Amino acid sequence: MVMAKTVILGAGYGGMATAVALEKSHQPFTIINKHEYHYFTTLLHEPAGGRNQFENYSVPLRDVLHRAESEILVASVNALRPQENKVVTDSGEVDYEYLVIALGNAPEYFGIPGMQDNALVLRSLDTARQVHEHIENTFKSWQEDHDDTRLRILVGGAGLTGIELCGELAEWMPELAADYNLPLEKIELINLEAAPSILPMLDEGLREEARRVLESKGVQLRTGTAITKVNPNQVELKTGETIDAKTIIWTGGVRANPLIKEAGFEVDPKGRAKVNEFCQSVDYENVFVIGDSAWFTGEDGKPLPPTGQAAEQMGSLVADNLIALQNGGSMQAFHFNNRGTLASLGAEVGVGSVKGIPAKGVSAALLKEATKVKYLWHLGGLRMLSEKRGQFKRKG
């Protein structure tokens, strides 16, 4: 059986999982992606914080999708037209019979004035590089004017993204101080979190451990501190206080790609398209929606949070469902296999839980490294693992 024309939008964790599974089943598809590479979104804090080189965090799509029937179109999707079975890209319109929307997320700014214009974000390889270069250039310039706000970094949000980034940046600071002859004691890395605690998804003991580790590395964690406005080089807090800093990074949350809502899909408040148990859009039965784009209600009646592991699992399932649907077979319902949550706090320490078992310190960091190995293996076996081995060592 050869499948009807299937188009996958996005080559993140979800889109790649669908594409890899379809290739394994010898089914043709077109995958449309903005870049000719797939990058490892959940690891962006590592190169942003200088742990090692950026090239270790992406892989050309052709290195993973080898078959000639696997068509790769490098283009930006500008609009979805589900009524016409079309997507509009900057390289023209593309028709489909089946569509998989795996367009990932966009920053959630909560309408905070000035945030979008005045803060950096960490959501792609390009933005991770911007964060890295911005900090390096800003620190470098301190010698010219001795303006101490150059040495202050503000990170807004203490979810997994903000905390992992702080852990990484903290380890980079002594290196930067040595490279550019800067006073280490003047460097400030401040995390501002509106909620009463950091990492609300973890148990209290693990949250306290994360706080202890980060504070020992010099990170200032200010919880119960909401950012209300961002001016150029300054944040305003709910308390009325202002903090000046030449580096402001926003990790305050994510929402779905806006194209989904614009196309008229039924969406949740985060702009994610409602799907049934098969990850199939409730609006169009030839459209599947996965990962951060999908509003999937779990067995506990709660919407599934946007994570890489959910995206990957949905992607593989949807490949099977596409084949079943066209083969007269029955589709399978999605059941999220929660493997746990691990946050790195720098290169060699972490915190989290795996299958309900808490992990901290070096063992959590090692477990996190194991998830990288597993992912690379899944993508491209031993060859991919050896090509990307730079991920596993600190540069220098």
- Active-site pick, 23, 71, 108, 164: 164
Q: How many residues bind ligand NAD (CB under 6 A)?
A: 27
Bridge partners, 100 (sequence order): 8, 288
Closest CA to 78 of 8, 6, 9, 7: 9
Alpha-carbon span 192 to 195, nearest angstrom = 9
Of these, 14, 49, 104, 157, which contacts ligand NAD (CB under 6 A)?
A: 157
381 near ligand NAD, rule: CB under 6 A? no
> Which residue blocks in 217-360 are alpha helix, DSSP H?
258-262, 308-327
Our CB check for ligand NAD shows the closer of 45 and 287 to be 45
Alpha-carbon span 203 to 207, nearest angstrom = 6
For the range 67-73, what are the long-range contacts, defined as Cβ-Cβ under 8 Å and sequence gap of 24 or more? 67/23, 67/26, 69/26, 69/27, 69/28, 69/29, 70/19, 70/22, 70/23, 70/28, 70/29, 70/31, 71/28, 71/29, 71/30, 71/31, 72/30, 72/31, 72/33, 72/36, 73/30, 73/31, 73/32, 73/33
Site string (327-346) toward ligand NAD, x via CB under 6 A: --------------xxx---
269-328: which residues touch ligand NAD (CB under 6 A)? 305-307
Of these, 50, 159, 167, 346, which contacts ligand NAD (CB under 6 A)?
A: 159
Is 164 designated active site?
yes
Contact region for ligand NAD (CB under 6 A) — 8-16, 80-88, 171-179, 251-259? 251-259
CB of 299 to ligand NAD, least distance (A): 18
Our CB check for ligand NAD shows the closer of 225 and 281 to be 225
214 near ligand NAD, rule: CB under 6 A? no
Phi, psi dihedrals of residue 22, rounded to the nearest 5°: -65, -40
106 near ligand NAD, rule: CB under 6 A? no
190 near ligand NAD, rule: CB under 6 A? no
Contact region for ligand NAD (CB under 6 A) — 1-9, 32-40, 186-194, 239-247? 186-194
Alpha-carbon span 66 to 156, nearest angstrom = 41
Contact region for ligand NAD (CB under 6 A) — 81-89, 94-102, 153-161, 204-212? 153-161
Active site residues: 164
